[in-house]
């Protein structure tokens, strides 16, 4: 959503790096670039003027002139001002002290109200609430049926006494839903109202009548974040005609420039409370101004990533996997598969990676990432026997051919997966033991920090009883074994790699090296 704005701001801040002091010309040039970036992102002109004015005023102050790194101080100011125009603090729902909490959704047709009603209901269920959906959109064809289908998907009951499609009174339905919620002991009622293709008097009057009939605790204005400047106009018209307490942005995963999100709060004075960022029912959460500002400035959103991980990951399973990493060879392909399946619960890898700091520079690679690659890896692992997953070292050439055939992949894909698994496991085991990544110092606060030799500590032996350590990769192990055998044979005066002087079986040697049988001719 904010890709254009993020890239433009990143280029602006690059020009400030390395400067020990900012001149008046530097500040003016930076302000001009920020203004262009915001205008290109479709932010409303009054908001741009106010934002740039605040940044320039603070940039000329003592907080920048006295800073050790003026460029970082400017980024800090821009981040704080972004948080301000996005609403400052996270606005949460107000719940009724007695009786069911009534939430009314309003907005234009096509903004995604009906789908969002179900997303909100699912989110409330996760907050230990018992919501009920109300089908008060009786005009749009099949709106009632759509809400019933969505309600079934999220496991929330739908109150729909009227079939809709132009028949029934939405005000009566909304009024009756409150009594139904009390009777069935639901503590939250979500009313889905009708929308139009444009703002008109009939829409406003109907929404006002429903509001007066049910006296909602929260009226949420649902707006499509992709409609740009029209979002501000529509938001102001609904505020004047109906009134609302907060805004919900939908389709934040789209390719629009994001000006609506940055403009609505400042123009209307109403906070953005929720954001919908995908097609799944779980792609919905509270809108955090500080986290959104960090995303815009490519600082990542680790808090949201952690929260999603806490929901998706099984803590007991994760603890067992961590314990296995502390044991050499304890982490198996079965554990790797389970961890991968839990990661998939977080959503697309592109979205997950996008929450990490500094990933804006890899946006093209992330957008071109093939999500099916993870499915292919799972197919390869699931084509292995339990014994092969538990001990990948036993996967020889014939086993790899069978696994490749079973998963519909090439033998080279299986080889690549096994090789990478051994490398990754070695690195993770090293980090788990406090040794840090290979060639790098250990992690602070962990045993072995510094990565060097500890004074007075015994050095780890090369292998059991002084034997040379064998590679965990079967192909490399066979190659190493053949080399050792050849060296011993050469030492014994036999150049053919056979200490006993017998004829060499080159086909068997090729198989041991995980090579095609035809390759035996080259060995000869």
Residue 129: CB atoms within 10 Å: 16
Provide the pLDDT for residue 460: 42
> Cα separation of 241 and 203, whole Å?
9
Which run of H or of E encompasses 119? helix 113-126
As a dihedral over the C-alpha atoms of residue 136, residue 140, residue 141, residue 143, rounded to 10 degrees, the angle is -40
Window from 169-178, 233-242, 485-494 with minimum mean pLDDT? 485-494
> Cα separation of 523 and 509, whole Å?
8
Provide the pLDDT for residue 471: 53
Q: Tell me the HSE value of 396 on the side-chain side, using a 13 A CA sphere.
A: 11
Spell out where 240-300 has E strands: 246-250, 272-276, 284-286
Mean pLDDT value across the chain = 75
Contact 393, 475 (CB under 8 A): no
* Residue showing tokens 């739908």: 158
**pLDDT tens per residue across span 453-486:** 333 444 444 444 444 555 555 555 666 666 665 5
Q: Which of 106, 137, 108 is nearest to 197 (CA)?
A: 108
Residue 494 pLDDT > 50, yes or no?
A: no
Provide the pLDDT for residue 279: 81
> Cα separation of 360 and 295, whole Å?
9
DSSP string, 341-396: HHHHTT--HHHHHHTSTTGGGGHHHHHT--THHHHHHHHHHHTS-HHHHH-GGG--
**pLDDT tens per residue across span 277-303:** 878 888 888 888 888 777 777 666 566
Contact 246, 218 (CB under 8 A): yes
Residue 523 pLDDT > 50, yes or no?
A: no
Provide the pLDDT for residue 121: 94
**pLDDT tens per residue across span 304-332:** 666 666 666 666 766 776 676 666 767 78
Residue 105 pLDDT > 80, yes or no?
A: yes
Contact 151, 162 (CB under 8 A): no
**pLDDT tens per residue across span 373-423:** 788 888 999 999 989 888 888 888 899 999 999 989 899 989 988 888 888
**pLDDT tens per residue across span 72-99:** 777 888 888 888 888 888 888 889 888 8
Distances in Å between the Cα of 492 and the Cα atoms of 21, 262, 278, 468, 484 are 73, 79, 69, 20, 12
Provide the pLDDT for residue 441: 40
Mean pLDDT of 103-127: 89
Tokens of 268: 């209307």
Q: Which of 269, 299, 514 is nearest to 414 (CA)?
A: 514
Whole-number CA gyration radius for the chain = 31
Tokens of 407: 């998963």
Contact 473, 419 (CB under 8 A): yes
- In 43-103, alpha helices (H): 45-59, 62-65, 70-85
Tokens of 5: 């704005």
Provide the pLDDT for residue 255: 58
Q: Measured between alpha carbons, how far apart are the two ends of the chain, in Å? A: 61
Residue 38 pLDDT > 90, yes or no?
A: no
> Cα separation of 202 and 210, whole Å?
13
> Cα separation of 263 and 228, whole Å?
9
């Amino acid at each position: 959503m904010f890709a254009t704005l993020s890239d433009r701001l990143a280029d602006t801040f690059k020009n400030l790096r390395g400067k020990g002091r900012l001149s008046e010309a530097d500040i003016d040039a930076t302000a001009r670039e920020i203004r262009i970036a915001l205008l290109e992102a479709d932010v409303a002109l009054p908001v741009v003027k106010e934002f740039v004015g605040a940044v320039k005023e603070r940039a000329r102050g003592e907080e920048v002139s006295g800073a050790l790194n003026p460029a970082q101080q400017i980024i800090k100011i821009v981040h704080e001002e972004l948080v301000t125009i996005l609403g400052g603090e996270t606005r949460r729902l107000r719940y009724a002290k007695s009786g069911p909490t009534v939430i009314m959704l309003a907005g234009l047709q096509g903004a995604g109200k009906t789908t969002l009603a179900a997303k909100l209901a699912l989110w409330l269920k996760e907050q230990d609430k018992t919501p009920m959906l109300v089908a008060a959109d009786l005009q749009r064809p099949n709106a009632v049926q759509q809400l019933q289908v969505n309600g079934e998907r999220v496991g929330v009951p739908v109150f729909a006494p009227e079939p809709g499609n132009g028949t029934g009174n939405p005000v009566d339905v909304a009024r009756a839903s409150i009594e139904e919620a009390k009777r069935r002991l639901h503590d939250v009622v979500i009313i889905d109202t009708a929308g139009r293709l444009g703002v008109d008097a009939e829409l406003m009057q109907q929404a006002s009548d429903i509001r007066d009939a049910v006296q909602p605790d929260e009226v949420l204005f649902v707006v499509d974040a992709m409609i740009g400047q029209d979002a501000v106009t529509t938001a102001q018209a609904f505020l004047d005609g109906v009134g609302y307490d907060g805004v919900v942005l939908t389709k934040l995963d789209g390719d629009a420039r994001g000006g609506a999100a940055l403009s609505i709060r400042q123009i209307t004075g109403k906070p953005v409370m929720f954001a919908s960022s995908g097609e799944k029912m779980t792609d919905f959460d509270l809108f955090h101004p500080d986290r959104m500002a960090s995303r815009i400035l490519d600082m990542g959103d680790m808090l949201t990533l952690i929260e999603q991980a806490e929901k998706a990951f099984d803590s007991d399973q994760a603890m067992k996997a961590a314990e296995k990493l502390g044991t050499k060879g304890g982490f198996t392909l079965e554990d790797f598969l389970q961890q991968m399946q839990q990661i998939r619960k977080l959503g697309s890898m592109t979205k997950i990676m996008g929450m990490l700091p500094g990933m804006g520079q890899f946006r093209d690679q992330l957008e071109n990432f093939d999500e099916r690659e993870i499915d292919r890896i799972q197919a390869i692992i699931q084509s292995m026997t339990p014994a092969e997953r538990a001990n990948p070292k036993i996967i020889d050439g014939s086993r790899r051919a069978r696994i490749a055939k079973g998963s519909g992949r090439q033998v080279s894909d299986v080889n690549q997966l096994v090789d990478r698994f051994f490398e990754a496991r070695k690195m993770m085991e090293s980090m788990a033991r406090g040794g840090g990544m290979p060639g790098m110092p250990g992690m602070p606060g962990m045993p072995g920090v510094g990565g060097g030799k500890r004074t007075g500590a015994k050095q780890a032996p090369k292998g059991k009883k002084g034997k040379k350590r064998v590679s965990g990769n079967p192909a490399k192990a066979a190659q190493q074994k053949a080399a050792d055998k050849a060296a011993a044979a050469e030492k014994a005066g036999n150049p053919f790699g056979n200490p006993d002087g017998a004829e060499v079986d080159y086909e068997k040697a090729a198989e041991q090296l995980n090579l095609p049988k035809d390759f035996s001719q080259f060995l000869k």
